[in-house]
A and B are shown apart, each in its own frame.
Chain A
Amino acid sequence: MKKRWLSLVSLLLVFSFIISGCSSSTSTKDKDDKKAAKLEIFSWWTGAGEEDGLKALIKLFKEKYPNVPVENAAVAGGAGTNAKAVLASRMQGNDPPATFQVHGGAELNAGWVAAGKMEPLNDLYDKEGWKDKFPQSLIDMVSKDGNIYSVPVNIHRGNVIWYNKKVFADNGLTPPKTFDEFFAVADKLKAKGITPLSLGDKEPWTATMLFEDILVGTIGTEKYIKLWSGDLPLNDPGVVEATKTFKKMLDYVNADHSSRNWQDASQMVGKGEAAMNVMGDWAKGYFVNDLKLKTNEDFGFITTPGTEGDFLVITDTFGLPKGVKNPDDVKKFLSVLGSVEGQDAFNPLKGSIPARIDADPAKYDEYGKQTIADFKDAKLAPSLAHGSAAPEGFLTKVNQAINIFVTQKDVDQFIDSLVAASSDLKK
């Protein structure tokens, strides 16, 4: 009898556990509702310059709209590797941040727009009169089926060779403009015992970036874009030729490339151990802020061979996810983000150039001014390595193929794996 009573009590205890579990989960939900009123800005800008830029932007927003509470929900991790995983789980759990950083191009369109998770922003573009303030090809990168889905805040250029001025001057060399000039310069440097080209492909995207720059330099922007839309097969003779050039270039890189990241590779140029490095223009921030080098004195820059009139675009944009509780506040933030004032507050600190064509060049340094000028006339090519040209799934497979190719240097095998991966282009 006594035992039965005991078991009853313990059963009750179990139930009370379950009930208390339920009630605590409802209370956290209440908290979430309150939190949702905050404007949560989700990004991976936690590095030196970029965090300052984001803070300047938030400060500007607070001055204009003091009544909207803002939360900076940045997730650390280079190139957004961690942030993207956090974002994916939040979006799938129907708990989207108010607005989030996403690269314009496939990452936005083939990812979140195709998944039906984004609201169109056409009305905002009409209201702010932005349609002729951003380059049309950039608006195309953030549009799908005639609807615009995000606001670009900055532009980075991917096709830049950074070179050590002293090494070039000491050896009487001029920076190469074509592949022939590149290999001529590289041979001379190699003969003198200087690493001609530094590479740090511990994370394979840096090698993918080098490859995409060679690809644009070989086949041009128009054909390059057709590759990702499926209008040109990936075993096109131009791609094969670019792969062969890539293979030849790999003979001139440092032997320990697979143990270095991009900063280590840039550092080799800064120290004069290597003559050239191909990297996006965030490397300028690294040269100037971290290595304390001077633009056009210690290091110089030139577009990668054959891409003088091309511009490999990496653009960070912000959009409005579906199911957000405060869409009007988000639009207020996006209007600040897309304004001249907002772009000029953010970009000089981040080291990028504004996405708008009417921003004030006086606020930018020497490199920025020239890039702003180039950006106006150049043909824009979305970067593959940064998720703008093709879906993430395809990019992962390309990165794997590149990682194998850098060691095996088997052109046919590489082209085969590109073709095999191309079924993932449609996703």
Chain B
Amino acid sequence: MNNNQASTQQKLLIVGNGMAAGRMVDELIARDPHRFSITVIGDEPHGSYNRIMLSPVLSGESTALSIIQKPAAWYAENGMRFLAGVKVVRINRAQKTVDCDNGEQVEYDHLIMATGSRPARIPAKNQDLTGVMAFRTLDDVDTILALGETAKHAIVIGGGLLGLEAAYGMAVRGIDVTLVHRSGWLLNRQLDSASGALLEQVMAHKGVRFRLSREVVSFNGNRRVESATLTGGETLPCDIAVIATGITPNAELGFEAGLEGKRGIEVNDYLATSDPAISAIGECSEHNGETFGLVEPIWQHCTSLADRLALNVRTAYKNMPVATKLKVSGVQVFSAGDWLTTDQHREVVYQDVARNIYRKLLLKNNRIVGIVFFGDVRDGQYFFELMEHGVVVTQALPQLLMGRAFCSEVPQAAASKEVAAA
């Protein structure tokens, strides 16, 4: 890189090195590899890795090495500066600098906040006992695996995607796992009670026990966790307790610098914060009151922001329904849009109890507004597109629910989108 070029380059600083940051640099390079002088500061020691794949690593279906997408050397090879294991402690918006916990100060012309999130806290006592932990990072996986060498009993708190994946990961490693969930059924943000019950049945076959409609009141033990007491009084023995009850945006750094936002750092449709020199993406951000936990909208954050910064093109980010997938071997879940049936919905359900298959479509005004598939998610994406494009589907019912293959006339998402536009 010559000086001339260096002097024209803008200094782009990305705080955080999770999946959003990793994708962000890819998107920027793809548009214009020389536009920015990029610095990435991450508090984890690794390069950017695919956090979604932590579950397969835990269950032994993938290795830690295979999920690291950008090893530390990659940044230098691509002309970037990468500060690993470093934490930013302060943003000086007036000076356009940040202060790091290693004493370094880094300048920026534009700052991207990609600080992600952390596990939400639960109201249980004694969460500081050894063995009470989150399931969020490669380090967490290492810890669980290390404890797992000797651990006999584990509890997982939280019956969402992450909790189920953690429970499954430990169960396949031979640990006796009980999952404690506050709601009456699993994946209660994605499934209805019927499909949740099917999921419970399938997970039970994989060796996971459940305590539903229960919370942990306290962890018990002397330095190391030995048991957990639940609402209702039951006490379960445990050598590991993994808390996976959701996430809290890491927005404090931004708030302390005066950026606006309620739960996350507030951004507009182009991912700009209340300071035009600062953008925010991923799980630390908040858009129209929504925060984020799944990967698809975050990829949209990255493309929208890259278009604006690298090409000066305005691509509005829109909050769209997102399909949920559960990464537990042999369990297929697909959920998007509404998932609980109300009086406002027309509900069409296909159920094959013997084969653990459940497929529900929720309709309003003859259009799909919710999809809950369990056990067989074929054509899920197709339904998702029909939903996104507001295609009228009632003519194709009820065949449609069996899949496109059985319909003589298949509703086309793309075609009707044009019609809608016209």
Do the two shown chains form a genuine complex with each other?
no
